[in-house]
Amino acid sequence: MATIQDVAAAAGVSTASVSRHLAGQPVRTADAIARAIDELGYQPNISARNLRTGRHAAIGVIVPDVTNPFFAALIKGVQQEARAAGVQILLGNSDEDPAQENALIGELSQRTDGIIIAPLVEEGRSATDVARLRMPVVFVDRESRERREVDRVMVDNLGGTRLAVEHLAALGHTRIAFIGGPLTSTPGRQRHAGFLDTMREHDLMVDERLVVIADFRESGGHDAMHALWREQSRPTAVFAANNVMTLGALRALDEVGARVPDDISVVGFDDLSFATLLRPPLTVVRRPEVEQGAAAARLLLDRVDGDTGSPPVSVTLAVELVVRGSTGVARPDDGIDRG
Amino acid sequence: MATIQDVAAAAGVSTASVSRHLAGQPVRTADAIARAIDELGYQPNISARNLRTGRHAAIGVIVPDVTNPFFAALIKGVQQEARAAGVQILLGNSDEDPAQENALIGELSQRTDGIIIAPLVEEGRSATDVARLRMPVVFVDRESRERREVDRVMVDNLGGTRLAVEHLAALGHTRIAFIGGPLTSTPGRQRHAGFLDTMREHDLMVDERLVVIADFRESGGHDAMHALWREQSRPTAVFAANNVMTLGALRALDEVGARVPDDISVVGFDDLSFATLLRPPLTVVRRPEVEQGAAAARLLLDRVDGDTGSPPVSVTLAVELVVRGSTGVARPDDGIDRG
DNA sequence: CTGAAAGCGCTAACAC
DNA sequence: GTGTTAGCGCTTTCAG
């Protein structure tokens, strides 16, 4: 590989001039340098540059699962902003394992200028570890509970859940079930709280047996729905707190032969690209997924670019209810105790 | 940040000993060094190490679209192997744009020890560029047409397509339509060829109007299906050459009120996690997606680890037909010219 | 097994 | 606007 010295020699200038030319600064001998670079096929050694500058021109993104459509979309948003900023992305997949998440934070922190973390569960040492990190961090969907306050991009979990529950209430449902995620996670906690609050606001009884805390996974939603269906007194509607749990719930309902929305109405949190292709099309709370990734990246890149002084900000994105076919009016004979 | 010098001083040894300890080599003063590392919170400077060793301990992965479930699964497979090897992943999303793909190849090649490329379209300069790259490259789903032969992980496109078409033929279908991808891509070409071959083998007439070459996108499949439905003499079955085009086709069928499989049978290439939740559940050709990513990573990491001598290999993964509800027997009155 | 020291390729003072 | 040069932090000869 040709080095900057080779280019300098070929162009008859100093390495400093080549370096300046590379940095876009005006140089008299720009033409000669450009020619030399071209002829030699010169490409700067990034490691040397990074060592010298103490920067990486790269950011890290840590998600629980790339194959979850939401996180895939999030990554896409980060990519868009990163590309525009000329920054590369190091991707970490934690497999929903706090230990792996921590390991990834440690590894990526040595190779990047900042990290975007979308945690599923807020356990382990990550909170303290992040506090020790001397680099910009942006959290996605995570309340700040760390010593060090960091930037965050949140989604309106309470509002979204309210939208969903009020929609069901307006359809006449009273026995509304909730399939939630771990209360150790921000989305899990906020959507759970939103559910309880909205139910109470509308004077709807919250039957504890209809509130199932699962794990944000497809299998969790599946098992939770089966459990709900076994209840003496079944729900006439169910709100599932994330995309894949909703899918799991639908699978369970399919297995027991329940008809949606005739036997039970279903609303999910987070849209799916194929939601309209499901039968019936799925009613969901939709958030701007790609935008959330882009917003996180923008926040991070601002910090990386030197804005380290201003206080941490928290951006909350709005959601909307998309009513499709999986929700319908409560049947008059619904909610009857089958005992 | 503490440097290796600080650690050496604190432990009362030379930097060489610390470096050896870090590399796992036996050192008498290992305990003292470990203690110093711990107390100082020392973390090696990766850029310095990379500069010195000329390696990156990182590989690049370039995909057309992270949000496509297939590529997301592919990335997951790569991640698994990369983690096991202690190697990081730089992710590039080309947005299905050859120019961006090329740019990414250039950027990632300066920051990684090898690259996995899953191209959608084989255009532009990528072929020649890759030939110039002096680093290991693994192609996913791409025939080798470059000067420099590289390792490849293929999927049995011909076999998979044959399975799909023979399944439809066995159900009595004769007017079988094909929605394909660009013939400038390997999957596009091979699935197209597989379709034509299998049709001929079974003495089925290939109506040119029922062979639509789209773009591997949801909208492409959607538009193609609409066009097919407008045909004077409609197909009774359709094979769509990738996952999202299949989804697009289903959407189009939904829009025109066609019933699947009563009015038309549908088979797709590549499974979807939610395929069983579609109504009817989708019949597909399934490939081991995560495994394909893992295989690509293994191939690449072997080369990175020094096996640069042995000739390029091509691994082809087997596929299977998963019959679900979207395919059914051809109706007796099907295929009648409605003119 | 250990230490001294060179040097990877680059950028950024600094002096002109 | 340009050249000289120090040095980022690490690994790896080389000599002992």
A255 touches chain B (CB under 8 A): no
Strand C close to A16 by CB, under 7 A? yes
Strand C close to A144 by CB, under 7 A? no
A217 touches chain B (CB under 8 A): no
The CATH number of whichever domain residue B71 belongs to comes to 3.40.50.2300
Closest of B309, B313, B250, B235 to residue B280, by C-alpha: B250
Q: How far is A132 from chain B (nearest CA, A)?
A: 10
Q: Rounded distance, CA B120 to CA A278, Å?
A: 28
Mean pLDDT of A264-273: 97
φ and ψ at residue A132, rounded to 5 degrees = -80, -25
- Confidence (pLDDT) at B335: 47
Strand C close to A25 by CB, under 7 A? no
- Confidence (pLDDT) at A207: 95
The verdict on B85 and B9 lying in the same domain is no
Contact A278 B274 (CB under 8 A): yes
The verdict on A249 and A233 lying in the same domain is yes
The verdict on A282 and A167 lying in the same domain is yes
Q: What is the pLDDT of residues B196-209, one digit of tens each?
A: 999 999 999 999 99
Evaluate whether residue B312 is within a structural domain: yes
Q: How far is the CA of A131 from the C1' of D9 (A)?
A: 25
Cα B126 to Cα B101, B123, B318, distances in angstroms: 8, 7, 27
A93 touches chain B (CB under 8 A): yes
Evaluate whether residue A265 is within a structural domain: yes
Q: Rounded distance, CA A233 to CA A175, Å?
A: 9
Contact B276 A251 (CB under 8 A): yes
Closest of A222, A219, A147, A152 to residue A187, by C-alpha: A152
- Confidence (pLDDT) at A249: 97
For residue B278, give the DSSP letter.
B
Kindly report the bases of strand D lying within 7 A of a protein C-beta atom. 1-5, 7-13
Mean pLDDT of A243-268: 96
Q: Rounded distance, CA A119 to CA A101, Å?
A: 8
Nearest nucleotide (CA of B43 to C1'): D9
- Confidence (pLDDT) at A338: 46
Task: Centre a 10 Å sphere on the Cβ of residue B5 and count the other Cβ atoms it contains.
Answer: 11
If one counts the domains in chain B, the total is 3
The verdict on A187 and A262 lying in the same domain is yes
Contact A88 B110 (CB under 8 A): no
Nearest nucleotide (CA of B26 to C1'): C1
Q: What is the pLDDT of residues B255-269, one digit of tens each?
A: 999 999 999 999 999
Selected residues 6-35 of chain B with any CB under 8 Å from a CB in chain A = none
- Closest residue to C3 measured CA to C1′: B14
Q: Residue A231: which domain range?
A: 157-287
Q: What is the pLDDT of residues B303-323, one digit of tens each?
A: 998 777 789 999 999 999 999
More confident residue, A264 or A130: A264
The verdict on B183 and B250 lying in the same domain is yes
Q: CB within 8 A of B155, min separation 6: which ones?
A: B141, B187, B287, B292, B316, B317, B319
Q: How far is the CA of A15 from the C1' of C5 (A)?
A: 25
Mean pLDDT of B279-295: 97
Q: With bands split at pLDDT 50, 70 and 90, how would you rate the model's confidence at A309? A: confident
Q: How far is the CA of B17 from the C1' of D13 (A)?
A: 14
Best mutation site among A42, A105, A110 for testing chain B: the one with the most B CBs within 10 Å? Answer: A110
Evaluate whether residue B50 is within a structural domain: no
3-state secondary structure chain A: CCCHHHHHHHHCCCHHHHHHHHCCCCCCCHHHHHHHHHHHCCCCCHHHHHHHHCCCCEEEEEECCCCCHHHHHHHHHHHHHHHHCCCEEEEEECCCCHHHHHHHHHHHHCCCCCEEECCCCCCCCHHHHHHHCCCCEEEECCCCCCCCCCEEEEECHHHHHHHHHHHHHHCCCCCEEEEECCCCCHHHHHHHHHHHHHHHHCCCCCCHHHEEECCCCHHHHHHHHHHHHHCCCCCCEEEECCHHHHHHHHHHHHHCCCCCCCCCEEEEECCCCCHHHECCCCEEEECCHHHHHHHHHHHHHHHHCCCCCCCCCEEEECCEEECCCCCCCCCCCCCCCCC
Evaluate whether residue B326 is within a structural domain: no
- Confidence (pLDDT) at B120: 74
The widest CA-to-CA distance across chain B, in whole angstroms, is 93
- Confidence (pLDDT) at B305: 87
Evaluate whether residue B210 is within a structural domain: yes
- Confidence (pLDDT) at B149: 79
For B230, the token pair is 């407008």
Q: Which residue has the tokens 């503490």?
A: B2
- Confidence (pLDDT) at B34: 95
- Confidence (pLDDT) at B132: 74
The verdict on A274 and A164 lying in the same domain is yes
For B296, the token pair is 């690509």
The verdict on B28 and B150 lying in the same domain is no
The verdict on A191 and A244 lying in the same domain is yes
Strand partners, A237: A176, A265
Q: CB within 8 A of B162, min separation 6: which ones?
A: B194, B197, B198
Q: Rounded distance, CA B47 to CA A74, Å?
A: 28
- % residues pLDDT > 70 (chain A): 94
- Confidence (pLDDT) at B205: 92
φ and ψ at residue B127, rounded to 5 degrees = -55, -55
Q: What is the mean pLDDT of chain A?
A: 92
Q: What is the pLDDT of residues A185-195, one digit of tens each?
A: 999 999 999 99
A101 touches chain B (CB under 8 A): no
Contact B90 A93 (CB under 8 A): no
Q: How far is A67 from chain B (nearest CA, A)?
A: 5
Nearest nucleotide (CA of A52 to C1'): D8
B58 touches chain A (CB under 8 A): yes
Mean pLDDT of A258-287: 95
Mean pLDDT of A136-165: 90
The verdict on B21 and B110 lying in the same domain is no
Q: With bands split at pLDDT 50, 70 and 90, how would you rate the model's confidence at B129? A: low
Closest of B89, B4, B73 to residue B45, by C-alpha: B4
Mean pLDDT of A281-309: 94
Evaluate whether residue B322 is within a structural domain: no
- Give yes or no for a contact between A255 and A194, defined as CB atoms under 8 angstroms apart: no
pLDDT at A179 over 90: yes
pLDDT at B128 over 60: no
pTM, entire model: 0.94
- Chain B residues near residue A279 by CB distance under 8 angstroms: 278-279
Q: CB within 8 A of B291, min separation 6: which ones?
A: B77, B317
Q: Using CB atoms, pick whichever of A44, A45, A247 lies closest to residue B274.
A: A247
The verdict on A281 and A293 lying in the same domain is no
Size of interface A-B (CB pairs under 8 A): 117
- Confidence (pLDDT) at A126: 55
pLDDT at B7 over 80: yes
Q: With bands split at pLDDT 50, 70 and 90, how would you rate the model's confidence at B324? A: very high
- % residues pLDDT > 90 (chain B): 84
Evaluate whether residue A50 is within a structural domain: no
Q: Rounded distance, CA A300 to CA A152, Å?
A: 10
Contact A247 B111 (CB under 8 A): no
Q: What is the mean pLDDT of chain B?
A: 92
More confident residue, B130 or B180: B180
Closest residue of B to A100, CA-based?
A: B83
Mean pLDDT of B262-289: 96
pLDDT at A128 over 60: no
Q: What is the pLDDT of residues B67-123, one digit of tens each?
A: 999 999 999 999 999 999 999 999 999 998 888 988 999 999 999 999 999 987 776
- Confidence (pLDDT) at A131: 67
For residue B265, give the DSSP letter.
E
The verdict on A137 and A201 lying in the same domain is no
Evaluate whether residue B331 is within a structural domain: no
Q: With bands split at pLDDT 50, 70 and 90, how would you rate the model's confidence at A335? A: very low
pLDDT at A141 over 90: yes
- Confidence (pLDDT) at A265: 98
- Confidence (pLDDT) at B63: 96
The verdict on B222 and B264 lying in the same domain is yes
A230: exposed, middle or buried (Cβ count in 10 Å: 0-12, 13-18, 19+):
exposed
Strand partners, A261: none
